[in-house]
Amino acid sequence: MSLFYHAIIVLAYAAAAIIAAQFLPKAMPLAIETPAVAYGAMVLAGFAILHATLAAARNRIVVFREVKALRRTNGEVMRELGFARAEVEQVSDALRAAQESSAPSVEIREVAAEIETLRREIERLHEDAGPTRRGPKKVAPDADPEETRRSPEKLDDARVLDIVRDAIDHDRVDLYLQPIVSLPQRKHRFYECFSRVRDTDGKQIAAERYLKIAEEAGLIAAIDNILLIRCIQLVRKMQQRKRKLGFFVNISAHTLRDTSFFGEFLRFMGENTDLAPHIIFEFVQADVADIPADTAAKLHQLGEMGFRFSLDRVGRLDLNYAELSRRYYRYIKFDCATLIAHLSEEAGQENMRKFKSMLESFAIDAIVERVEDESDLIELLDYGIDYGQGYLFGEPRPAR
């Protein structure tokens, strides 16, 4: 607080003390022997305590806002570095391919050396973006994720937040994949991408334990960015092997609201439109129900580039599918139990036939998620469901 502000407050308290000294003795005749100055002193002390409390609260609010701004700035820096790392990786891959196809020229070797120098500098900047900490302990590639998962009840929120920040700073945000299969063949057609965080000992933190904490701290956009970069690197490898697979990449509500991120995100994806057949961006229905008009416009631009969307956690079937199709949604995910309950009613098979026909008219595919056991699968097959996802077909596993 400024000196002027403090002076005004002190004068106000002094005035209150003088008023108390003048009028309280008249208002309290039983205590008339008490000196008037004592009344004023008591009032002044009370106001001083109140002033100190308010000043401390205001200072806490200022500090909180400054810390929040610093976190936002750090997140923006990390995202920029993430995009830079991805672009350098692309150039490096192209140079390696050129060198493998023929004897590299002097120019190619010089460019390769400059790119390597740039890559090292970006890595150094990435390390400098956070405080120095002990490096990660590697986990065996075939380790069971259940055996390496950190028990959530042993960690408080502050410790989980520290682990997430450290994981972002030191490249310990891992890509996990869960298959989406075609039915009834159970052939892997797509994979959904998930992020998993490890601490310095290689122990994995359960997603349900850190996601909400990361979002409240403004770190979820950085995790989304890392997940996207990991997925792009994987898609590039799949392209080299001529494998045609699709990857569902989740975009959180926090990232959707981050306008500065979306501008850079659109630019980056516009330079990589060859990824459009392989990457499907997935949004939770509740998150996109009331997005701002400018965010909806940016998503439409992304769709015009050739990228397609998936709507997740859909709890009802009476949606405006024509509008969803116009907005480039090509996949809709329904919870297994919800869909079975809806279709188990009388004329369920007939309703499903009409429902599928309507979806096909809008070029939308239905995916039933959380399929856990064979009995659910048998019932779904009776309704002619085309795609399924759940632990019955495979749990999320580390991307190889």
Q: What is the pLDDT of residue 171?
A: 87
The mean of the pLDDT values for the chain is 77
Integer CA distances (angstroms), 200 to 137, 150, 276, in order: 6, 11, 35
* 282 neighbors 309 (Cβ within 8 angstroms): yes
Q: Kindly state the tokens that stand for 281.
A: 């961006």
Residue 129 clears pLDDT 60, i.e. is over it: no
Identify residue 368 by its one-letter amino acid code.
V
Distance between CA atoms of 241 and 238, rounded to whole angstroms? 5
180 forms beta bridges with: 190, 389
Residue 279 clears pLDDT 90, i.e. is over it: yes
How many beta carbons lie within 10 A of that of residue 176, not counting itself?
20
Q: Angle formed by the axes of helices 157-169 and 220-240, to 10°?
A: 40
Q: What is the pLDDT of residue 31?
A: 47
pTM: 0.64
Higher pLDDT, 355 or 28: 355
Looking at mean pLDDT, say which of 18-32, 237-251, 347-361 comes out highest.
237-251
Q: What is the DSSP track for 87-133?
A: HHHHHHHHHHHHHHHSPPPHHHHHHHHHHHHHHHHHHHHHHHTS---
Per-residue pLDDT tens over the stretch 213-239: 998 888 888 898 899 999 999 998 888
* 312 neighbors 334 (Cβ within 8 angstroms): no
Helix, strand or coil, per DSSP, at residue 189: strand
Mean pLDDT on 188-204: 91
Q: Please tell me the number of Cα atoms within 13 Å of 292 on its side-chain side.
A: 11
Q: What is the pLDDT of residue 145?
A: 42
List, in order of start, the domains of the chain with CATH numbers.
Answer: 1-129 (no CATH), 139-398 (3.20.20.450)
Looking at mean pLDDT, say which of 85-89, 269-273, 350-354 comes out highest.
269-273
Distance between CA atoms of 226 and 86, rounded to whole angstroms? 10
Q: Among the listed ranges 48-52, 198-202, 395-399, which one has the minimum average pLDDT value? A: 48-52
By CB atoms closer than 10 A (0-12, 13-18, 19+), residue 276 is: middle
Mean pLDDT on 261-287: 90
Residue 133 clears pLDDT 50, i.e. is over it: no
